Structure 1
Amino acid sequence: MNPLRTRRLTVIAATAIVLSFTGSAYASAGSVPADDNGKITVGIKFDQPGIGLKTPDGKYTGFDVDVATYVAKQLGHDPGDIVWKEAKSADRETMLQRGDVDFIAASYSINDKRAEKVDFAGPYLLAHQDVLIRADDDSIKKPSDLNNKKLCSVTGSTSAQNVKTKIAPDAQLQEYGGYSECLTGLENGVIDAITTDDSILAGYASQPQFKGKFKLGGFKLSNENYGIGVQKGSDLKNQINKALEKMVADGSWDAAVKKNFGPAGYKNEPAPKIGVVVQ
């Protein structure tokens, strides 16, 4: 082979290798959250009214959606640039590690185990485990009143187990496949209370068909610091934190809370200080 051609091929191959490594490093850093078409991919819940919901007409609503849309705007993306992807609880860390999404806002509580695998911006909401009861039920005024009551949560929920083991061990636990089934049971009097994060409960109770039917217990059984998950080591964390600080400062955070949780009488905590996780 011509020596000159050999050298040329060697240079091309070396350049390709360098570009390959550079591209990998760039992808892992996640510093510019956009694909070749200028899109940004965001993970949310698709099945939590008031938090993250994909409606039958293909729209996306909820507090997490509003927060993510605001953050994306601060990162330089209009709402039309956002590609929404469902982020189920069990899949969130894997989605971030694989680079399937740029960030996740999906009632994503910050804890040490998750922080080993991903980084968190925020927190942007301090929620608490609570119970939802019928509006006319005056028999459940404190956590211990749940004893001998029919308590509902989804199958495998840690929230229900917390009540059973720590709060009201004599509660009659009913585990359903989804919270919508719990709501039907609560409405029909088959169960007495539903337990999970107060923000999630408020979102369900805020649906038009349930207006005035339910109320939150206000028990604050745990602290749940919602954060925005990003790939480990990504400098997106700092950019998102700045966006969240601006959202709080300009009143957009309060407006989003009122819009999504207000109808349920949700007494939210003040906006948490960015970078401070409440134990």
Structure 2
Amino acid sequence: MNQETEPSAATTAAPSSSPRSRQLRLVALTVVLTVLAVALVPVVLNLGPPTRDELMERAGMKGKRELLIGVKDDQPGIALQLPGGGWQGFDIDVAYMIASYLDFDRSKVVLLPIESEDRARRQAPYNDRFVTVDMVIASYSVTDERTREGATFSAPYLHTEQSVVTRANEPGPVSSLEDLRGRRVCTLTTSTSQARLRDVGAEAYGRNKISECVQELHDGRTDAVTTDAAILAGFVTASQDPDAFPTTLKNVKPLRHWDIGSSPQERWGVNTGPNTALRDLVDLALHASAKDDENKVWEEAYDDNLRWQQPFNRPQSVAEEQQPEPRKVEVRQWPWERFALPLPGHPGPPTPPVRSAARVGRPGRGRRSSGC
């Protein structure tokens, strides 16, 4: 009996040590993984892309009291300063959208009128002196020359094209710049289109503001105005509908918008100067706008400011009705952040549209840059 019971005792004792061994192995594995995690975190932090919070720190946005943005003030539909001091236009809505992503509400955003020649160096008047703005959102076309001058552009936020405006009673057609041979043509001083106009035999000259060119067109002191279609569209619309925009222009006469079909695509970008971290944040804001199905700020800005103008400007397309493809910026997120982080803030209610939007726009064509 003893010989039969001894193996039985040994057999029952062996399993009691198995759970303990498994527990020890599990503890050892946990310790190893913890040590590896602690060792790898600094490597990930040093070698991986920055977080959005780190970009905000690098860009100088943390604790900043106000965000200075240089904008145009004389372009109806794009950026217009209203008689009461408010602002209206597509660029204005884009500016507030980007500011919201940077955690600035509208009360902390300061919009400053900026001249075309000052956009590269980001200089604008503020409280009786010139200051360097944080960014420029001022119908600013992306060109290599401007990059060499010091501009640092975000991905494009609007695509349009160069066009020509004349008085409605002027003989036509104007289907190319060559049709302006021998005629007096006004454009922006900093526009590269002046040289091309002279090449085709036009009498080209520049003004600091496009509204000055349009006023001279109404006054009969010039035969045509050329710049980006999205800029000219508002003046054409206002010339046909006096209630479309508040204006200080005088002797307003009906204008006609011509599709010259010879310029490349105009790609408007945001200039952040040497602040590349801010450039990346702007691109993140544009990416969120383009890729988030619930973010309709860009579409609303287009509808409220540009789309409804299309009937006044046919056959010229005002601008492409799709937001350009954004640049993808790599940012570091821990797995739990992807679920916990809120979506970028909405800039709040936009300025009420001047006209109800109608789906009448059409996509633009690829053209050559006029550098406006």
TM-score, with length taken from structure 2: 0.57
Letter aligned with residue 135 of structure 2: F
RMSD (Å) for aligned C-alpha atoms: 3.3
Matched, 1:114 2:165: no
Residue of structure 2 equivalent to 1:21: none
For 2:71 and 2:188, the matched residues in 1 are separated by 19
Deviation for aligned residue 1:189: 4.8
Sort the Cα spacing of 1:78 and 1:160 in 2 relative to 1 into closer, same or farther, 3 A: same
Letter aligned with residue 55 of structure 1: L
Residue of structure 1 equivalent to 2:186: 152
Q: Report the secondary structure of 1:206's partner residue.
A: helix
Which structure 2 residue ranges, 5 or more long, are not aligned?
Answer: 1-54, 124-129, 245-252, 329-365
For 2:220 and 2:145, the matched residues in 1 are separated by 38
- Aligned 8 A contact 1:131 1:193 in 2: yes
Q: Which moved more, 1:70-79 or 1:187-196?
A: 187-196
Residue of structure 2 equivalent to 1:170: 201
Residue of structure 2 equivalent to 1:241: 283
Deviation for aligned residue 1:174: 5.6
Residue of structure 1 equivalent to 2:61: 32
Deviation for aligned residue 1:239: 1.9
Residue of structure 2 equivalent to 1:226: 268
- Aligned 8 A contact 1:206 1:260 in 2: no
Residue of structure 1 equivalent to 2:71: 44
Matched, 1:272 2:324: yes
Match of 2:160 among 124, 127, 130: 127
Ranges of 4+ aligned residues in structure 1 off by more than 4 Å: 154-157, 174-178, 276-279
For 2:230 and 2:68, the matched residues in 1 are separated by 24
- Aligned 8 A contact 2:160 2:318 in 1: no
Letter aligned with residue 107 of structure 2: G
Q: Which has the higher contact order (CA 8 A, sep 6+)?
A: 1
Deviation for aligned residue 1:80: 1.5
Q: Which moved more, 1:178-187 or 1:55-64?
A: 178-187
Sort the Cα spacing of 1:278 and 1:213 in 2 relative to 1 into closer, same or farther, 3 A: closer
For 1:152 and 1:278, the matched residues in 2 are separated by 20
Sort the Cα spacing of 1:92 and 1:154 in 2 relative to 1 into closer, same or farther, 3 A: closer
- Aligned 8 A contact 1:197 1:224 in 2: yes
Q: Report the secondary structure of 1:94's partner residue.
A: coil
Sort the Cα spacing of 1:114 and 1:275 in 2 relative to 1 into closer, same or farther, 3 A: farther
- Aligned 8 A contact 2:229 2:318 in 1: no
TM-score, with length taken from structure 1: 0.74
User: Which structure has the larger Rg over C-alpha atoms?
Assistant: 2
Letter aligned with residue 234 of structure 1: T
Percent identity between matched residues is 29
Letter aligned with residue 235 of structure 2: Y
CA deviation profile, 1:140-183 (whole Å, cap 9, x unmatched): 24113222333233456432332221xxx233446556433432
Match of 1:64 among 79, 88, 91: 91
Q: Report the secondary structure of 2:301's partner residue.
A: helix
- Aligned 8 A contact 1:41 1:85 in 2: yes
Which structure 1 residue ranges, 5 or more long, are not aligned?
Answer: 1-25
- Aligned 8 A contact 1:34 1:40 in 2: no
Sort the Cα spacing of 1:134 and 1:34 in 2 relative to 1 into closer, same or farther, 3 A: farther
Deviation for aligned residue 1:226: 0.9
For 1:267 and 1:121, the matched residues in 2 are separated by 22
Sort the Cα spacing of 1:209 and 1:180 in 2 relative to 1 into closer, same or farther, 3 A: farther
Q: Report the secondary structure of 1:205's partner residue.
A: helix
